[in-house]
Structure 1
């Protein structure tokens, strides 16, 4: 299978080539030239398959002869070795808990899958790769841990100084070794801009092999389609066939993963794009023009994105048809106070804890059910363990959250990070000197 740029001015490449490049030479994002549609027999029998069996069947068409079935199975079994529970909270409202991986965030799915593929590729090519990652929170920690001490790979994480939670910062800025943490004096959009500029800078690319582990990388996107299908498989066992998925959305890679699964044939009734006040996509879905703007800081910091990169992929999946996108996706946005209120109410009524991001998705699912019918089954994607936002949550529930032992160790480690400005030339000089 070949992959093409959303800007349509770069040569087609294979999956692993697209993964290595991260961003296409014309500045676009890679997408499959054609979306593989799996047979109805696969989708109707999901309930008989494990998570890893579903992942294998969904991934296989994208690799062709690049990766043997044996190696693909090995990558999947090694990457996805943790549970993916789906919890009923209220009536037909379910929560898909994606935070049971090593760093307790959904980003573990993409980061661990990618790390194992990059390790395999570095072994074949015998060439060192530098992974550039812009992060507003959990992407950084997931990538840092996924790639930690991987031979042939260096990782450079860029995060906005003072705008991620303490635990997120400690998880990604205390490792050292092949992982470098850069605190950028700006917002997430500045971090993302620096990474994008690096990929299209000729001098920089002549001196080092660059790639990305952000959701702009196709290898991060693909595994984010697997758990949607797994959620459908669990619901099939309950006699539910066509759920609505509510997705907390920042850079929109997670939602794009679900839409990709749907285009592959997965049964899904509808999708909800749930954001905080950084609502450029919900406003577009209501009929406005897509108009990026500076992001605003909120308590759901991983969603503080004013120009979501993956929006171009959503446009690609729907053939640039605004009406088709709006028919399939409904947008919702909420303030910090509404987010806090949801955390508080769900805990008081059901003794269930939601992180600020998941709370926004849950509130959207409830609002959709109120508008369209309470019996409509909805699945909210839970993106991070509540303990990662204990400073916000404990205030609302008036009690402490126990910190798992595997997280306590990171809070005690010494931070190893460098502060840089927002200018690209300074960042470029840092990378060249480091190389």
Structure 2
């Protein structure tokens, strides 16, 4: 029986733990772990024609990490339950593809990580004998995805904290979704910031009474379940586009580029891992706001994890080169409008910045100005990535951009840019006649502790 692949802590390489144990790490230090060995998927999968389905890709990715720890029949079941929705990949112009990650219950890419994490928690934690409880504080999309994911497991209580500060308040459409959740999902409002919510969660998790009375699980956007789910998305998109490139674009050997905002957790790490596992990914585009002068500081954890994986890569299988664009916030609406006019596709503001950067590369207009500067986000930062600076290579590039949030979450920006309100998926329909708010409130870690113990 093959054990799962072990992960080691880059802060202390002597600490090496198997994947199923890493799943139970409840703080963001889980993001400091990288696989000791990166499995390589067979060419029979990479170059399969027709390309494998998303579930087939997910099965191969997860099986290569979990190995015999999860029997194949169980793994098939977990994947089928975690990903019951479509994952469309389609071109919006001859050299740009979109992979839509917005067809889950929460309407965002976080549905993938949340749903598979929920399946793993149910699979591994239920064997402990103690009651299992989920505790989480996060953004509105992250919270909605997790709440929907755990709503399927009636014997797992889940408590979510959100900030009631008007500046950070959840959108009315998302708030209303909370009212429709089953009784074992508990949503608390907190008079404070998101940082305050997270601090309460960490303080409560460290309490001895809590640790002795329940199995507490605290998901994070950097959690390994999220990362591996995004690896599946990158791998699937690359294989789908590779199989279509000759037919759609007459490019027999495309240079595949993944484009994503730097603020999206795990995005670059997933692309690196997917490449190391055999995906034909040649580089990445990532974007930050022009006001972000030091991405390595503003997105410290994300950049740290990326550099960890970059350094971990074998020399003969180097990590993808990353072109970093700083964009002027005022140009985002223009990019959304331009995309709609040129392709008919309505995109969210986040991926509009990637669209803008990709157009600058392929049009040869990457000379820096104060609102459209470009640099390399690699270990060798003195030069641009080769695929950007080499004109011949650029002409063979095809960029894949994940749509990470449904445009309906940015309806005002979409309307301003395109004159169109995006259609709302049925499962996110807002009913103006429902005026209730989530009623539970929490003011301190002490209140949160008392609440959790009352559920035991």
Structures share fold, TM-score greater than 0.5: yes
**Cα separation, partners in 2 of 1:61 and 1:196, compared to 1, 3 Å:** farther
Aligned to 1:54: 57
Whether 1:258 aligns to 2:265 is: no
Counterpart mapping for 1:7-406 below 5 A: 7-8=11-12, 11-23=15-27, 29-45=32-48, 47-161=50-164, 162=166, 163=168, 164-172=170-178, 174-196=180-202, 198-199=204-205, 204-238=210-244, 239=246, 241-276=254-289, 279=292, 283-284=294-295, 290-292=296-298, 307=299, 309-319=301-311, 328-370=321-363, 371=366, 372=388, 375=395, 376-406=397-427
Q: Give distance in 1, aligned partners of 2:446 and 2:302.
A: 26
Task: Name stretches of at least 5 consecutive residues in structure 2 with no aligned partner.
Answer: 247-252, 367-387
Q: So what's the TM-score if we normalise by structure 1?
A: 0.82
Contact 1:35–1:264 at 8 Å: present in 2 too? yes
Q: Report the 3-state secondary structure (helix = DSSP H, G, I; strand = E; otherwise coil) of the residue aligned with 1:255.
A: helix
Farther-moved stretch of structure 1 (372-381 vs 222-231): 372-381
Q: Is the 8 A contact 2:239 2:279 kept in 1?
A: no
**1:233 Cα deviation after fit:** 1.6
Please say if residues 248 and 381 of structure 1, whose CA atoms lie closer than 8 Å, have aligned partners that are also in contact: no
* Number of residue pairs matched by the alignment: 411
Counterpart check, 1:4 vs 2:8: yes
Residues 45, 52 of structure 2: 8 Å contact kept: no
Residues 195 and 360 (structure 1 numbering): CA distance in 2 closer, same or farther, change over 3 Å? farther
Q: Structure 1 278/66 Cα, relative in aligned 2: closer, same or farther at 3 Å?
A: farther
Deviation string 1:44-74 (CA, Å, 9 cap, x unpaired) is 3374311111111111021122210000011
> Aligned pair in 2 of structure 1 residues 345, 48: CA closer, same or farther (>3 Å)?
closer
Give the RMSD, CA atoms, in angstroms: 3.2
Q: Shift in Å at residue 377 of structure 1?
A: 0.9
What is the CA–CA distance in structure 2 between the aligned matches of 1:173 and 1:313, rounded to whole Å?
36
Using the TM superposition, give the Cα deviation of residue 28 of structure 1 relative to its aligned residue in structure 2, in angstroms: 5.6
Q: Which has the larger radius of gyration?
A: 2
Q: What CA distance in whole angstroms lies between the structure 2 residues aligned with 1:78 and 1:320?
A: 33
The alpha-carbon deviation at position 390 of structure 1 amounts to 1.2
- Residue 279 to residue 137, structure 1, CA distance change in 2 (3 Å): farther
Deviation at 1:254, TM superposition (A): 2.7
Q: State the Cα distance separating 1:243 from its structure 2 match.
A: 0.8
1:415 aligned to 2:437?
yes
**TM-score, scaled to structure 2:** 0.79
- Provide the C-alpha distance between the structure 2 equivalents of 1:426 and 1:276, rounded to a whole number of angstroms: 38
What is the DSSP-based 3-state SS (H/G/I as helix, E as strand, rest coil) of the residue aligned with 2:159?
A: strand
Secondary structure in 1 aligned to 2:126? helix
